[in-house]
Amino acid sequence: MLSIIGKILEVVGKLVGLRSELERADKALRDKIADLFDQISDCLLRVATELRKEQVPHGACAELATYSVGIAVLISPITGQTEAMEISDKLREAHNVEGLLLSLREVPNPGDEIAKIEGASGEFKALANMLRATA
């Protein structure tokens, strides 16, 4: 189940690598992508907050699954359909964040794993801000 965190990190890492391509999109599209990245960031932060309280982050699975569809639609004009679907599929595979609570109880330092989710949230937020700041 902790592979979910790895998939989230893969998605954000791939998007960080695509930053220059994303920044070349027209402003309207960049703003839409930035809004989506903000929403993903907020969702991941809520997940981390709930997990730190040892509570299930109800609703986050459906939210991330929905974002996985939206991300493909928004970035495909920039990345091409194949790469957009790979990123979308990876995010969809990571959607089961509600099940993380049980898995985290089995690791010696669950806070370290939760910190990875918080880090991914921060990276999505930074990407959103950078896309908005691009002239």
**What percent of the chain stands above pLDDT 90?**
85
Does the pLDDT of residue 83 top 80, yes or no? yes
pTM of the model: 0.95
How many residues are recorded in the chain? 135
> Mind giving me the DSSP string for 104-116?
HTTSS-HHHHHHH
Contact 31, 121 (CB under 8 A): no
So what's the pLDDT on residue 114? Answer: 96
- pLDDT, residue 95, reads 84
Mean pLDDT across the stretch 78-102? 92
Q: What angle do CA 125, 8, 24 make, to 5 degrees?
A: 50
5: pLDDT strictly greater than 90? yes
**Tens digits of per-residue pLDDT, 17-64?**
999 999 999 999 999 999 999 999 999 999 999 999 999 998 999 999
